[in-house]
Amino acid sequence: MEDVNYQLSAYDYELPPDLIAQTPIAPRHNSRLLVIKDRSLHTHVIFRDLPKLLHPGDLLVLNNTQVLPARLYGYKASGLPVELLLLEPQPGRSPLSDGFSDRWLALVKPGKRLKPGAEVWFSKDGQPPADLSSTVMRANILATDASTSGRIVQFEVPEGQSLRELIYQLGQMPLPPYINATTANPDQYQTVYASQPGAIAAPTAGLHFTPELLAELTDAGISQAYVTLHVGIGTFRPVEVDDITTHRMHAEWAEVPRSTVDAIRQTQAAGGRVIAVGTTVVRSLEGAAQEVTLQPFYGKVDLFIYPGYRWRVVQGLITNFHLPKSSLMMLVSALIGRERLLALYQDAIANKYRFYSFGDAMLILPEALV
């Protein structure tokens, strides 16, 4: 077994820029799939082959979060353009139950010009308003949030309208910065089973599924259950410490319902395997099992998984290819080992796999776990 390495530099790799996927494959289930079959063997197939790779009685657990059009563009009264990226409702309120509170934590640009007391105005067409009477919404900057360098923002909406309506009218899908927004269709940045609004980013491992593939999996005796984790800044915040064990995750809202806990227990009792679809599902399930056994869970998860972690629930994983030095690389390394993961990434690069959110996927089967 390899030595565990806790240095940030040990999770780095070089990726040719042309392998960063800008749009998904169509149909989605035709993306490529690198299958890690055991501790030494891997193969290259198509994602549509998934029903043949799993066993009847296995359980796929998916994240049904829905990405909000959380990027808003407005203006100060001076005409200065302003950008807000909504992170989560405040104060400490869960988007799982009340995703459209009128007070939010948001990242803002330009930060230096948006101090407490500033006002941001929004117009229907996204253009600078001729006068403030033509605006449809206002945001007041209340305070600075030290943990994110964001702002606590209070929205004021006209009588008879809701913030939910205005966010969906005015907001844009917050595509990752490495995706060229002029070529990507924001509608593609949503899983086909998304049903719980509240995320600022898609659980990208789920983007490969189509209704047809989900039906094929069911027909093959492979069940599906759902958790909700509203992907926030914690998933994508860079690791900025040399010793990764000192990194602290920003907490994200998650729910593991009793129906999913029951499905997992029934699967395990019958000898089936629990396969997480995406790292957000991994953190939801493992976070809900920190008190020794898996229990229904509702609250914030800040679990940081890195090599040496003792697994409690997850036996396999479907995941995309992740950014260098990211907490997601460390999570996957905890399953199959850092050296193995980096070698697999080099093979994927040599075989021209497509990387990141709209890219190809990897299936880690239980036999491959270290």
In which domain, by residue range, is 51 found? 8-66+183-368
Task: Verify that 100 and 216 share a domain, yes or no.
Answer: no
Is 24 within a domain? yes
Q: Report the domain count for the chain.
A: 2
Task: Verify that 145 and 96 share a domain, yes or no.
Answer: yes
| DSSP-assigned states of every residue in 103-153 | EEEEEEESGGG--TT-EEEE-TTSSPPSSGGG-SEEEEEEEEETTTTEEEE
Task: Verify that 40 and 116 share a domain, yes or no.
Answer: no
Task: Verify that 249 and 293 share a domain, yes or no.
Answer: yes
SS3 percent helix, strand, coil of the chain, rounded to 5, is: 30, 25, 45
Is 272 within a domain? yes
The count of residues in the chain is 370
Task: Verify that 59 and 89 share a domain, yes or no.
Answer: no
Task: Verify that 280 and 264 share a domain, yes or no.
Answer: yes
CA distance 286 to 291: 10
Provide the CATH number for the domain around residue 15: 3.40.1780.10
| DSSP-assigned states of every residue in 264-322 | HHHHHHTT--EEEESHHHHHHHHHTTTTSS---EEEEE-----TT---SS--EEEEE--
Is 177 within a domain? no
Task: Verify that 57 and 146 share a domain, yes or no.
Answer: no
Task: Verify that 91 and 199 share a domain, yes or no.
Answer: no
Q: Which residues pair with 316 in a beta bridge?
A: 275
The greatest distance separating any two alpha carbons of the chain, rounded to the nearest whole angstrom, comes to: 67
The number of angstroms, rounded, from the C-alpha of 90 to the middle of its chain's C-alpha atoms is: 20
> For strand 150-156 and strand 32-36, is the pairing parallel, antiparallel, or unpaired?
unpaired
pLDDT averages per 10-residue partition of the chain, 370 residues: 84 97 95 97 98 98 96 91 92 64 91 90 78 82 91 91 89 90 79 94 97 98 97 81 95 95 98 98 97 92 95 98 96 97 98 97 97
Q: What is the pLDDT of residue 267?
A: 98
Is 175 within a domain? no
Q: What is the pLDDT of residue 326?
A: 95
Q: What's this model's pTM, rounded to 2 decimal places?
A: 0.93
How many CA atoms within 13 Å lie on the side-chain side of 333?
29
**Last residue in a domain, options 119, 148, 170:** 170
Q: What is the pLDDT of residue 185?
A: 79
Q: From the CB of residue 96, how many other CB atoms can be counted at a distance below 10 Å? A: 18
> For strand 71-75 and strand 274-277, is the pairing parallel, antiparallel, or unpaired?
unpaired
Q: What is the pLDDT of residue 348?
A: 98
Task: Verify that 233 and 357 share a domain, yes or no.
Answer: yes
Provide the CATH number for the domain around residue 125: 2.40.10.240
Task: Verify that 131 and 252 share a domain, yes or no.
Answer: no
The tokens for 127 are 């253009």
Task: Verify that 250 and 284 share a domain, yes or no.
Answer: yes
Task: Verify that 58 and 141 share a domain, yes or no.
Answer: no
Rg (CA), the chain: 21
Q: What is the pLDDT of residue 320?
A: 98
